[in-house]
Amino acid sequence: MLSPLKALLSSLFVFDGTTLNDDTHDLQLATAVLLVEVMRADATCSDAERNRTLATLRQRFALSDDELARLMQRAENTAQGANDFFSFTSTMNDQFTQAQKIQVVEYMWQVAYADGHLDAHENHLISKVAGLLHVTHGEYIAAKLHAKAAVQPH
């Protein structure tokens, strides 16, 4: 009885033809899903938010266009089926330093600010994820301010 369930779960977590037991792929997918969730948090998923997400993932993980497209497709599919954020944040809590977790929160803020409008749902989502990542309130606010400065024209 458990074998079919295990096979189903294994097929859901395939990335580039390999099972996602590799820490790098887990972290890439977890980060991408959280950024996609910010894109999905408000009523409209703008091109600016999508472009910011793609640019962030490309920069953070040094991905080729093909790798980036596969990661985004995987993240969008995973985000649609996700019931909570614990599996993604627990992966980050196990593998990321505190500075890296703060950076993820900053990336989320950058996506939220990319369209020039901060939605209450985006704000709530980022606050919730920051708590799950054990990011302090001070670190959370600093990440928000850095992100806002980074995406606003000078």
pLDDT tens digits, 39-69 = 999 877 789 999 999 999 999 999 999 999 9
pLDDT tens-place string over residues 95-118: 999 999 999 999 999 999 999 888
Is pLDDT of 153 > 60? yes
Residues 6+ apart with CB under 8 A from 133: 89, 92, 93, 101, 104, 105
Maximum Cα–Cα distance for the chain, whole Å?
A: 60
What CATH topology corresponds to 21-151? TerB-like (1.10.3680)
Q: Which helix (H) or strand (E) holds 127?
A: helix 120-132
Beta bridge partners of 15: 18
Question: CB atoms < 10 A from the CB of 28, how many?
Answer: 22
Question: Model pTM?
Answer: 0.82
Given a contact cutoff of 8 angstroms between Cβ atoms, the answer to whether 43 and 107 are in contact is no
Residue ranges of the domains in the chain? 21-151
